[in-house]
Amino acid sequence: MSRQKADRMQELVELLNRAGKAYYQDAEEIMSDYEYDRLYDELLCLEKELGITLAGSPTVNVGYEVLSELPKEEHEHPMLSLDKTKDITELRKFAQDQKVLMSWKLDGLTIVLTYRDGELFKAVTRGNGEVGEVITNNARVFKNIPLRIAYKGELILRGEAVIGYKDFEKINAEIEDVDARYKNPRNLCSGSVRQLNNEITAKRNVRFYAFSLVQAEGVDFGNSRESQMEWLKAQGFEVVEYCTAVADTVEECVQRFSDRIADNAFPSDGLVLTYDDIAYGTSLGRTSKFPRDSFAFKWADETRETKLLKIEWSPSRTGLINPVAIFEPVELEGTTVSRASVHNISIMEELELGAGDRIEVYKANMIIPQIARNLTRSGVKDVPTACPVCGERTKVRKVSNAKALYCTNPMCQAKHVKAFSLFVSRDALNIEGLSEATLEKFIAKGFIREFSDIFHLERYGGEIQQMEGFGEKSYRNLIASAEKARVTTLPRVIYGLGITGIGLANAKVICGRFHNDVEAMIHADEETLNAIDGIGGVLAGAFVSYFKDENHIKILLNLLKELEIPEEMVDNTQRILEGKKFVITGSVTRFANRGEVKELIERLGGKVTGSVTAKTDFLINNDVNSSSSKNKKANELNIPIISEEEFIEMTQKRD
């Protein structure tokens, strides 16, 4: 039995170290946080029972070696991990008869700041607890670190660098390559703080929250940690939110924090308790791994057992096909959940996950649905050999430590979300309610395969209304917006196709040259198009090349069957603004937006530019007496500034 337990210890050490390396160094997840904590606790129990601690055990090795090119520096005061529990009784026992400070355990990157002569001298990451990376230049561009403070002695403090959920979502949304997106705010923060170029760091909205004062020469804090925190506030630092408690009020304080997790702007994986009495805490000393003056509390994850109905495979624009677990709905942390990302095939294999299994689910950090464990472990099966969107062959690839599924078809619709996004944009068909994220979901589910499908989403009305972020009202609004978009102009349609280099203005010129004759346009040669004023050889080549593809012609013709394109009301004899150049600024009241003004000007033969120059004929601004830069420029150049009403009168004149 002892031999089996020793073998199990070795297995756990290897497994946990592999998971730790994947998470901290490669930004990959090969197991859930829940599973990691469970295996870690199992290893601890075995070490205590057998009295053995293996070399390389994560219970004694604090962190991992630094692998970046940043300068390294040994910490003057070693940075230890904290002992932790999920049992509130343990917190009461820790508090004893002492006053404690309870604060958020923020989930970011721990940083040590040193100030000398009132200025930021250096910033060093925690690293492996003994040696960290010097990131001083990056710290200088954190959003809330004071570069100068009133205190002139040497100050050393510790805190957490974090990126909020909103910034995390915004930054991830801007990364087109789904594989390159960050898994969670902590990974994003770690990469941002350790950039070699601090211009990148500055754009990431990193914030720093102080949680511990290490040294402040000559300052009397009255032997109180709380006094230290208040003093740091007075020096201009934001400190981690905290409350004070004693043994009898610990549970109440924990509840106060837990009630606010869902609304917390920053990721947190628990709470930290620290003795207020500095001398008492210091007198307790430390173990080889933990200080004895502080204790961490991790949220006791609420888990629910449910049945895994299926694995849904969701293709992305890079070809990665993500597995998503769909299970019978359960109530977790006050909300109903029925799906959870599994991330990749490696995690599926680790969980031996198959349809019909009984699983336990929870919310990581009480927010993100995850699978805790698989109770029946029937095994991975039915990994699709064909892409659920385009039907072409799939392939399993190993990226870093994880196996993932990819679509091999370069023309898969899921890889062309940007094209659909352009098609529904304001200057094209102007269909509200179809963000890139929504389009990605609809394409992955097969609701949209080509542009014309957008006008038949009612076929999937029931499914759409059940999707996250949708309800009956938002669904109805989407359908109404699509119906309204059926009445449009041909230039908007041509622009919406996404032909390389063809903007709305170019599309208007081309459609005007061919008098909106679609057949003539799609079969035009380069010479004819090149002869059109403002088109040129490059755009002519791109236009002709696009319609050489028979599939593109088919897509356009299918689309036109769904649309109503009224005949132009203004003919060439009414081009009363021919040769006139306009600039439009400020708000409009008689038109829906400035785009409509521009459209009318161009239909009447005029042109619209963005800035006032000597070649401008009129500046349209309802605030004629405004001191704006465009008004000033127009006055300097003696260019008439006209109101919207004056412009309308101008368009109604007839010779």
Tokens coding 130: 């003994």
User: CB under 8 Å to 431, separation ≥6 — which residues?
Assistant: 424, 454, 478, 481, 482, 485
Q: pLDDT band for 650, please (50, 70, 90 cuts).
A: confident
User: In whole angstroms, what is the distance from residue 125 CA to residue 128 CA?
Assistant: 9
Q: pLDDT band for 67, please (50, 70, 90 cuts).
A: very low
Convert the pLDDT of each residue in 213-248 to its tens digit. Answer: 999 989 999 999 999 999 998 888 889 999 999 988
349 vs 531 pLDDT, higher one = 349
Q: What's CA 506's distance to the chain center, in Å?
A: 34
State whether the Cα torsion 608-611-613-619 is positive or negative: positive
pLDDT of residue 160: 94
pLDDT of residue 574: 64
* DSSP one-letter code for 399: E
User: In whole angstroms, what is the distance from residue 531 CA to residue 513 CA?
Assistant: 10
Q: Name the average pLDDT for the chain.
A: 84
The type of residue at 153 is G
C-alpha distances in Å from residue 21, one per residue of 8, 28, 58, 135, 449: 20, 9, 11, 22, 40
User: In whole angstroms, what is the distance from residue 348 CA to residue 311 CA?
Assistant: 10
Half-sphere exposure of 227 (CA within 13 A, CB side): 9
Neighbours of 349 (CB within 10 A): 14
pLDDT above 60: residue 54: yes
User: CB under 8 Å to 209, separation ≥6 — which residues?
Assistant: 106, 159, 160, 162, 238, 239, 240
State whether the Cα torsion 597-599-603-609 is positive or negative: positive
User: CB under 8 Å to 339, separation ≥6 — which residues?
Assistant: 312, 324, 325, 326, 327, 369
* DSSP one-letter code for 489: -
Helix ranges (H only) for 436-525 are: 436-444, 461-466, 472-485, 490-496, 504-513, 518-522
Convert the pLDDT of each residue in 549-586 to its tens digit. Answer: 888 899 999 999 999 988 765 444 467 888 889 999 88
C-alpha distances in Å from residue 169, one per residue of 66, 164, 165, 179, 314: 27, 9, 6, 15, 19
pLDDT above 80: residue 284: yes
**To 5 degrees, how large is the angle CA 153–CA 219–CA 162?**
70
How large is the greatest C-alpha to C-alpha distance in the chain, in angstroms?
A: 104
pLDDT of residue 551: 87
Q: 72 near 38, Cβ under 8 Å?
A: no
pLDDT of residue 56: 64
User: In whole angstroms, what is the distance from residue 287 CA to residue 290 CA?
Assistant: 5
Q: 365 near 258, Cβ under 8 Å?
A: no
User: In whole angstroms, what is the distance from residue 631 CA to residue 80 CA?
Assistant: 63
Convert the pLDDT of each residue in 581-630 to its tens digit. Answer: 999 988 887 776 777 788 788 878 788 887 888 889 999 998 888 878 88
pLDDT of residue 415: 72
Tell me, letter by letter, the H, E, C secondary structure of 9-35: HHHHHHHHHHHHHHHHHCCCCCCCHHH
C-alpha distances in Å from residue 478, one per residue of 155, 239, 454: 57, 44, 10
pLDDT above 50: residue 49: yes
Average pLDDT over residues 354-380: 85
SS3 300: coil
User: CB under 8 Å to 157, separation ≥6 — which residues?
Assistant: 112, 113, 210, 212, 213, 214, 232, 237
pLDDT above 70: residue 19: yes
Average pLDDT over residues 102-116: 91
- Distance between terminal CA atoms of the chain? 104
Average pLDDT over residues 527-545: 83
Among 51, 45, 59, 52, which Cα is nearest to 13's?
A: 59
Among 627, 620, 625, 626, which Cα is nearest to 649's?
A: 620
pLDDT above 80: residue 83: no
User: In whole angstroms, what is the distance from residue 414 CA to residue 420 CA?
Assistant: 10
Convert the pLDDT of each residue in 312-362 to its tens digit. Answer: 888 876 678 889 999 998 887 667 888 888 888 988 998 999 999 999 888
Q: 310 near 326, Cβ under 8 Å?
A: yes
Among 318, 267, 258, which Cα is nearest to 91's?
A: 258
User: In whole angstroms, what is the distance from residue 293 CA to residue 447 CA?
Assistant: 57
Half-sphere exposure of 289 (CA within 13 A, CB side): 14
SS3 545: helix
Q: 281 near 231, Cβ under 8 Å?
A: no
SS3 416: helix
Among 425, 571, 557, which Cα is nearest to 485's?
A: 425
The type of residue at 393 is R
Tokens coding 474: 């938002």
The type of residue at 286 is R
User: In whole angstroms, what is the distance from residue 464 CA to residue 470 CA?
Assistant: 7
Tokens coding 376: 């029946």
Q: pLDDT band for 26, please (50, 70, 90 cuts).
A: low
Q: pLDDT band for 41, please (50, 70, 90 cuts).
A: confident
Average pLDDT over residues 34-62: 75
123 vs 319 pLDDT, higher one = 123
C-alpha distances in Å from residue 106, one per residue of 144, 232, 367, 575: 16, 18, 14, 64
In the block, residue with structure tokens 């004149």: 653
User: In whole angstroms, what is the distance from residue 38 CA to residue 24 CA?
Assistant: 18
Convert the pLDDT of each residue in 397-450 to its tens digit. Answer: 887 678 889 988 877 877 777 788 889 988 889 998 888 878 888 887 889 888
**To 5 degrees, how large is the angle CA 278–CA 281–CA 287?**
145
* DSSP one-letter code for 97: T
Where in the sequence numbering do the catalytic residues fall?
105
Where is 90: in which H helix or E strand?
A: helix 88-95
pLDDT above 80: residue 647: yes
User: In whole angstroms, what is the distance from residue 371 CA to residue 35 CA?
Assistant: 9
Q: 543 near 510, Cβ under 8 Å?
A: yes
Average pLDDT over residues 455-483: 88
Q: How many residues does the chain have?
A: 655
User: CB under 8 Å to 197, separation ≥6 — which residues?
Assistant: none
